[in-house]
Structure 1
Amino acid sequence: MSRTVHCRKYQQELPGLARPPYPGTKGLDIFENISQKAWDEWQAQQTMLINERRLSMMNTADRTFLAQQMDKFFAGDEHAKADGFTPPAQ
C-alpha cells in the first residue's frame, strides 16, 4: 500500500514520495507535504528552467533561484516559467 500525504500544492490527499528527495529538513518537508504528482510536475518544470535559462548547478545563485521557484511552485504562487512556454490546452 502506498503512503498518502496532504499535498500542499493540490490541497488533497494524494500518493506521496517513496523517500525524501533531499537530505535534511527541506527533504523531510517535501516528503511529508508534497505528492508524487506535484514532485513529478516540478521535476519537468525544473528541467525546462535549467535548459531554457541555461542555469548551472555549479552556480550558487542559480541553485538559489531554483530553490525559490520550487517553493513558489509548491505553494501555488506565481513562479518563473521557461521563456516562450505556453501551457498545453486542457
Structure 2
Amino acid sequence: MSRIIFCTYLQRDAEGQDFQLYPGELGKRIYNEISKEASKMWMVKQTMLINEKKLNMTNPEDRKVLEQAMINFLFEGKEVHTKGYTPPEA
C-alpha cells in the first residue's frame, strides 16, 4: 500500500517515497514532504546539473552546490538553470 503525502512541490496529495532517499534532517523532510513524482522531476534536473556543470560527486563543494540546488528546486520553487541550456518548447 502506498503512502499518500501532501507534496510541497506539487502542492497536492501524491504518492510518497517508499523510504528515505537522502540522509539527515533534509532527507527526513524530503521523505515527509516530497512525492515520488516530484522526486523524479528533481532527478532529471540533478542529472542535467551534474553533466552541464561537470560536478564531481566526490568533491564536498560540488555536493553542497547540488544540495542547495535541490533545496531551491524542491522547497523554494526556484527553477534550475544552466548556462547555455534552452528547454524544449512544449
* TM superposition outliers: structure 1 runs of 4+ over 6 Å: none
The alignment-based identity, stated in percent, is 39
> Which residue is 1:7 aligned to?
7
> Which stretches in structure 2 are left out of the alignment for 5+ residues?
none
Q: Provide the alpha-carbon RMSD of the alignment.
A: 1.5
Query: Structure 1 CA distance, aligned partners of 2:25 and 2:41?
Result: 21
User: Number of residues paired by the alignment?
Assistant: 90
Letter of the 1:60 partner, please give it: P
- Aligned equivalents of 2:80 and 2:17: distance in 1? 24
Shift of 1:48: 0.4
| Residue 53 (structure 2) pairs with residue 57 (structure 1) | no
Aligned partner of residue 31 in structure 2, secondary structure: helix
Q: Which segments of 5 or more consecutive residues in structure 1 lack a partner in the other structure?
A: none
Query: TM-score, with normalisation over the residues of structure 1?
Result: 0.88
C-alpha deviation, 1:24, in angstroms: 2.4
SS of residue matched to 2:10: coil
Structure 2 distance, partners of 1:53, 1:14, is 31
| Deviation for aligned residue 1:59 | 1.3
Q: How does 1:6-45 map to 2 (within 5 A)?
A: 6-45=6-45
Contact 2:7–2:34 (8 Å) recurs in 1: yes
